[in-house]
Amino acid sequence: MDRLQPTLSDVARRAGVSYATADRVINERGGVAEKSMRRVRAAIEELGYVRNVAAANLAQKRTYRFVFVIPEGPNSFFQRLRSILGEARARLAKARVDIVVENVEAFDATALARCLTRLAGDRIDGIALVGTDDARVCDAIAALRAQGVAVLTLVADVQGAERDGYVGIDNTVAGRTAGRLLLLAHGGRAGRVLPIVGVRTAHDHAERLAGMRQILAASESAVTAAPVIEGRDLHEIVEARLRARLAEDPEITAIYSAGAGNAGLVRVLRDWPAPRPIVVLHELVAHSREALETGLIDVVIDQRPEDEIQGALDCLRAIADRHEPAPPPPVVPTLYLRENLPQTVDSPPTGDPDHE
């Protein structure tokens, strides 16, 4: 017969305190003398008591409140994240989980730090944010954690931040994967790869770019990297700068887009005479799917945002329940070619395939 799990009443009896006192210690509500707290904690250790989080939350009518801070604008990938979060919010409402989405200007560290500072005044159990490297962002994260708020970085990490974890792909590995694919596509021939990023200071974009360059530099091929285009993840900027670069540099044989704004890239390729450059880019959204289907691009590296959101929610919930969370496992990206596309993909809310 299985041994019965010790109850809070057992803990109280072992510690020689009232049930109410043991309950206050277990749920960290304060107002208990240090001596009594030590006795209760010793009894918990001796008995192997495990707090019933579900029962405690039900008794307290607790609702978890998690905030996701996402860059705003026409970026289709982040629109896809918002759509996934909307579905999760509806699904988890009965489980007393409230998901809030805060929008901030992309690549704007000042706006991100200001948003985090404002959130520090709210009752929040945890925050997941798409990071931007900046000392002010690190300070705002530290202030939140000092108040007991769990903080995760999502998709893009923040260098130097003392966060509770990072949920996303290994962006250096993703860049190295892109580099290897580009070398294979050149088949030993010489070439020149044009990288496109949002901004060089974006941590995820910088890591992807560095990973690609590592592979090209380590190879014995004559495939090199051209100077980077910064498109700020805006399709009109990517389109204008890419058209100009391809016109002035006829040696370009491949394009690696490490960021967004790829609807602009696709428009350029539609107009470009054959043979077009080899193209590897990130994120399977409506326009990248169509570009794969019609042969305008070659490979999409998708970071599976559904897995990222679920991983972030699981980790935030564990921390809020005062469990020691396991480090979030790295999300393994999926490589899509025209031949292995899934049947469906979320479209941007606008329904406009050129909207990014």
CA–CA dist 164, 27 (Å, integer): 21
Write the pLDDT tens digit of every residue in 294-314: 999 999 999 999 999 999 999
Amino acid identity of residue 111, one-letter, is A
- Which helix (H) or strand (E) segment holds residue 186: the answer is helix 171-186
Asked if residue 129 lies in contact with residue 112, where contact means CB atoms within 8 angstroms, the answer is: yes
* pLDDT band, residue 55 (cuts 50/70/90): low
Measure the N-to-C terminal CA separation of the chain; round to a whole number of Å. Answer: 61
Q: Which residue has the higher pLDDT, 201 or 130?
A: 130
pLDDT of residue 112: 97
Distance of alpha carbon 193 from alpha carbon 187, whole angstroms: 14
Q: Which two tokens stand for residue 10?
A: 């057992």
| pLDDT, average across residues 314-339 | 85
Q: What's the full length of the chain, in residues?
A: 356
Residue 147 has pLDDT above 70, yes or no: yes
Alpha carbon 58 to its chain centroid, in Å, reads 30
Burial class of residue 112, CB neighbours in 10 A (0-12, 13-18, 19+): buried
| Domains, the chain, with CATH or none | 8-51 (1.10.260.40), 63-166+305-325 (3.40.50.2300), 171-302 (3.40.50.2300)
* 113-129 pLDDT tens trace: 999 999 998 889 999 99
Note the pTM of the prediction, 2 decimals: 0.80
